[in-house]
């Protein structure tokens, strides 16, 4: 045996001993509650980082992009330049599978720090290139959702999605911090938007340090890792040669091969990819609100600049009720899912998202009460993510063995990106030609058929996963 191999064996033996000691340590009656607390505050950071760009889009566009490209095309040009930030998303596909090899805990902490750092960078951006750098960092850190894996692998199977949805609903309410800080730190002076990002970025960094204290690695990961480390060289060789890929030790390539060969996951990935067309509804609802109120003010005789300023407090008021609507639909998702099943949840949440978004768009352009508009937009986004979290997150998690779980969660957005690249380019072209006033109609024309195709695929091609024990998923169901 070579010295290199011997050192590797000694290293693996030490890792086995460390993991076995950790498994043997009693967790106590209060540990689950502490874990839920940590997951909740991490989700707060994740929700804020995921949402703040959408809720500040028209403000940043008018402050950074309008002086260069003009007011009428500011949001559209911002979206076009934002395509450069996708570099971060593609980089995350290679980074996320590492938690299948090194554990969930380190990446939970790293990702939360990264999200806070990204918002701080954006807060310091007074030019377009620096803003794009911060947006790239955001796109790198937010897709990972390690907190979802922690939750799925740590709570009882029969209440898995209910607990997840309640936590998501609670954390969604904290999104109200964004409009509150808009009102407190920015008001109608859009040049002060940087302060909102700085405060929330520092908040996320503090959450990361709280999460680092006392949280432990998930038991399914440790058991699977020990089983892998105890395999003989021949067993590992056979696992690599296994065409199903079910025993692979993580990795993007192995997960992609497994996902395409496994019928259940293949349809989940493809159906989820089509349903991702609806993500256009989530990217610029704040700009749609702003454009709707601006249009109403201009119709009454206001100049464009005056109408834009007058729309800011209306939008801020609308965003106050946004998290309430989102939290309500998020909570409903969990109860429907654990009571009636995952597939029914995809259908109910997807249909509700489309209905609420159409109503929100019509109301924004008709000048409805801003609190009602905010509530409807929140319902639309909450229902949409309830649909996507169910098919793209929960059902994929419940259909994948532990050794590939995080890797599959990296493959899922990659397949979704392939399914949506055409409509993303089409949307960007149309809005950059027609202007910001057409953001809402373009969104609906693209989102409705995509979501309908995706939902039908999942309803008719995918098995129900409600109640599955994640420790018993082998990946060999077929």
Q: Which letter does DSSP use for residue 390 in this model?
A: I
Confidence band, pLDDT 50/70/90 cuts, at residue 1: low
The answer, yes or no, to whether residue 245 has pLDDT greater than 60, is: no
Averaged over 284-291, what is the pLDDT? 81
pLDDT digits (tens, 9 = 90+) for 13-42: 888 889 888 888 888 888 888 889 988 998
CA neighbor of 115 nearest in space, from 83, 84, 79, 147: 147
Most confident of 238-242, 367-371, 423-427: 367-371
Question: Considering the chain, what is the average pLDDT of its residues?
Answer: 84
pLDDT interval class at 475 (50, 70, 90): low
DSSP state of 471: G
State the Cα–Cα distance between residues 417 and 125, nearest whole angstrom: 28
pLDDT > 80? residue 410: no
| Residue among 188, 150, 180, 184 nearest 167 (CA) | 150
Task: Give the span between the Cα atoms of 108 and 218, in whole angstroms.
Answer: 12
Tell me, what's the pLDDT at 454? 92
What is the pLDDT averaged over residues 63-80? 81
pLDDT > 70: percent of the chain: 94
Statement: residue 61 has pLDDT above 80? yes
Distances (CA, A) of 8 to 2, 5, 27, 44: 10, 5, 30, 40
Closest CA to 63 of 192, 196, 184: 192
pLDDT of residue 312: 81
Dump pLDDT digits (tens) for 290-309: 888 888 888 888 887 788 77
Segment among 104-113, 163-172, 173-182, 426-435 with least mean pLDDT: 426-435
Range with the poorest average pLDDT among 243-257, 284-298, 320-334, 377-391: 243-257
Confidence of residue 346 (pLDDT cuts 50, 70, 90): very high
- According to the model, what pLDDT value does residue 478 have? 46
User: What's the pLDDT at 375?
Assistant: 94
Handedness of CA 47, 50, 52, 55 (dihedral sign): negative
Output the pLDDT for position 338. Answer: 85
CB atoms near residue 223 (< 10 Å): 15
Average pLDDT over residues 115-139: 91
> 83: pLDDT confidence band, cut at 50, 70 and 90?
confident
Give the integer Cα–Cα distance in Å for 72 and 45. 32
Section 175-199 average pLDDT: 88
Question: What is the arithmetic mean of pLDDT over 48-59?
Answer: 85
Average pLDDT value for residue range 311-326: 87
Residue 397 — pLDDT band, cuts 50, 70, 90?
Answer: confident
Structure tokens at 13: 């033996």
**Does 361 have pLDDT greater than 90?**
no
Which of 139-148, 167-176, 371-380 ranks highest by mean pLDDT? 371-380
Mean pLDDT confidence for 362-367: 85
> Which residue has 């609507």 as its token pair?
325
pLDDT bucket at 252, cuts 50 / 70 / 90: confident
Average pLDDT over every residue of 346-358:
92
- The whole-angstrom separation of Cα 408 and Cα 143 is 12
Q: Which whole number is the average pLDDT over 369-389?
A: 91
Band (250; pLDDT cuts 50, 70, 90): low
**Is a pLDDT exceeding 80 seen at residue 71?**
no
Residues 192-231 have pLDDT tens digits of 899 999 999 999 999 888 888 878 888 888 888 888 888 8
At 1, list the tokens.
Answer: 């045996």
* CB-CB neighbours of 381 under 10 Å: 28
Q: Is 163 a residue whose pLDDT tops 80? A: yes
Q: CA–CA distance from 339 to each of 68, 343, 391 (Å)? A: 53, 11, 16
């Amino acid at each position: 045996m070579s010295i290199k191999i011997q050192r590797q064996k000694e290293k693996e033996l030490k890792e086995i001993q460390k993991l076995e000691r950790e498994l043997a340590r009693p967790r106590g009656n209060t540990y689950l509650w502490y874990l839920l607390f940590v997951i909740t505050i991490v989700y707060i950071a994740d929700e804020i980082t995921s949402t703040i760009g959408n809720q500040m889009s028209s403000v940043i566009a008018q402050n950074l992009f309008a002086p260069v490209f003009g007011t009428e095309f500011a949001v559209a040009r911002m979206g076009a330049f934002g395509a450069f930030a996708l570099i971060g998303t593609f980089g995350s596909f290679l980074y996320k599978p590492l938690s299948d090899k090194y554990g969930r805990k380190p990446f939970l902490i790293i990702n939360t720090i990264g999200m806070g750092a990204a918002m701080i960078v954006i807060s310091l951006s007074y030019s377009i290139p620096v803003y794009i750098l911060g947006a790239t960092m955001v796109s790198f850190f937010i897709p990972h959702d390690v907190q979802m894996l922690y939750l799925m692998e740590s709570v009882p199977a029969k209440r898995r999605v209910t607990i997840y949805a309640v936590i998501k609903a609670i954390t969604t309410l904290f999104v109200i911090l964004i409009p509150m800080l808009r009102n407190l730190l920015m008001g109608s002076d859009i040049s002060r938007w940087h302060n909102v990002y700085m405060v929330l970025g520092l908040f996320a960094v503090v959450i990361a340090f709280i999460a680092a204290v006392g949280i432990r690695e998930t038991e399914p990961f440790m058991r699977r890792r020990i089983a892998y480390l105890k395999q003989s060289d021949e067993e590992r060789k056979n696992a690599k040669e296994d065409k199903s890929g079910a025993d692979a030790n993580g990795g993007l390539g192995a997960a992609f091969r497994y996902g395409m060969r496994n019928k259940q996951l293949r349809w989940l990935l493809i159906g989820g990819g089509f349903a991702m067309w609806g993500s256009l509804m989530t990217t610029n609802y704040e700009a749609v609100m702003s454009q709707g109120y601006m249009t109403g003010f201009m119709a009454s005789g206001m100049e464009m600049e005056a109408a834009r300023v007058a729309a800011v407090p209306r939008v801020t008021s609308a965003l106050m009720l946004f998290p309430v609507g989102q939290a309500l639909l998020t909570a409903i998702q969990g109860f429907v899912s654990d009571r009636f099943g995952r597939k029914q949840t995809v259908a109910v949440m997807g249909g509700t998202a489309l209905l609420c978004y159409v109503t929100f768009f019509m109301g924004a352009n008709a000048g409805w009460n801003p609190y009602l508009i905010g509530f409807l937009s929140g319902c639309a986004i909450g229902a949409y993510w309830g649909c996507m979290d169910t098919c793209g997150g929960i059902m994929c998690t419940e259909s994948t063995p532990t050794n590939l779980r995080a890797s599959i969660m990296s493959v899922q957005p990659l397949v979704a990106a392939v399914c949506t690249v055409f409509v993303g380019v089409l949307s960007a072209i149309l809005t950059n030609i027609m202007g910001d006033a057409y953001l809402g109609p373009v969104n609906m024309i693209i989102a409705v058929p995509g979501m309908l195709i995706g939902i039908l695929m999942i309803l008719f091609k995918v098995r129900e996963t409600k109640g599955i024990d994640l420790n018993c998923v082998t990946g060999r169901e077929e």
